[in-house]
């Protein structure tokens, strides 16, 4: 049984079929990448998985439990965390308080310990008192990741996490993501193909709201339809 499973997931906006009958499986402890051209439906799809959008058809199951109509904040408590494509922090609050607010959403028993553990995981314990809004862009992305980890997720959805990062920061990010598995299953939405091919165990390719291909990095890289639609020959 998959940890997170979608069957026939559908969401249209007028005549736009943003997500059109998608089947998807995220296994426990894997890093699974979701790729595709701009407008392929990636962000809409993960918004459906996280509960930020409601599907018009299809089902979503978490560890066998139907969560199709479960609100986003309840999905967070059940272990589904989603970090945004655009950094979503509270710039006027300290690093510690940003993570504490996230941890409260998961109803952790020891708030301070949960915050310290999340900051330690991303290497920011020494920055706990700093105001989030004055951090470098790279550190703001790490803070956002710490906020996700503070939710104690079983599933962590990362939407364009390396966008705007320098090369050295990307290497650190990849090491961090690798350290999360197998305790956490990671769904990675990413345009940087070097990151995708280096990190992902499996890849799902979306195109025009439908699954174009699924498989290992080597299988996806060699797929003629994927080359034509996205990767280039």
Q: For position 87, what pLDDT does the model report?
A: 57
> Where are the strands (E) in 104-199, listed by range?
155-159, 185-189
Express each pLDDT in 1-60 by its tens digit: 799 999 999 999 988 999 999 999 999 999 999 999 888 999 999 999 999 999 999 999
Q: Are 31 and 181 in contact (CB under 8 A)?
A: yes
Q: Which residue has the higher pLDDT, 210 or 169?
A: 210
- Domain spans of the chain? 89-150
Task: Write down the pTM of the prediction.
Answer: 0.89
Sheet containing strand 185-189, strands side by side: 80-83, 155-159, 185-189, 31-35, 202-207, 210-215
Euclidean distance between CA atoms 142 and 73, whole angstroms: 22
Express each pLDDT in 154-201 by its tens digit: 999 998 888 878 888 899 899 999 999 999 999 999 989 999 999 999
Q: With 60 as the cut, is the pLDDT of residue 215 above it?
A: yes
DSSP lists the bridge partners of residue 158 as 83, 188
Q: For position 166, what pLDDT does the model report?
A: 85
């Amino acid at each position: 049984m998959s940890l997170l499973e979608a069957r026939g997931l559908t969401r249209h906006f007028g005549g736009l079929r943003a997500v059109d009958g998608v089947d998807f499986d995220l296994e426990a402890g894997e890093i699974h990448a979701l790729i595709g051209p701009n407008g392929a439906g990636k962000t809409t799809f993960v918004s459906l998985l996280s509960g930020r959008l409601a599907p018009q058809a299809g089902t979503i199951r978490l560890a066998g439990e139907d969560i199709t109509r479960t609100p986003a904040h309840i999905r967070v408590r059940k272990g589904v965390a989603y970090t945004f494509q655009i950094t979503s922090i509270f710039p006027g609050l300290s690093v510690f308080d940003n993570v504490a607010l996230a941890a409260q959403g998961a109803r952790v028993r020891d708030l301070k310990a949960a915050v310290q553990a999340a900051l330690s995981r991303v290497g920011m314990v020494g920055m706990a008192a700093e105001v989030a809004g004055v951090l470098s862009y790279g550190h703001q992305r790490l803070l956002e990741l710490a906020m996700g980890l503070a939710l104690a997720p079983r599933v962590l959805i990362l939407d364009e996490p390396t966008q705007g990062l320098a090369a050295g920061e990307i290497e650190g990010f990849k090491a961090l993501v690798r350290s999360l598995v197998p305790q956490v299953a990671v769904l990675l939405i990413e345009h940087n193909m070097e990151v995708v091919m280096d990190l992902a165990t499996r890849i799902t390719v979306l195109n025009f709201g439908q699954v174009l291909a699924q498989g290992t990095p080597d299988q996806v890289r060699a797929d003629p339809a994927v080359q034509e639609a996205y990767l280039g020959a």
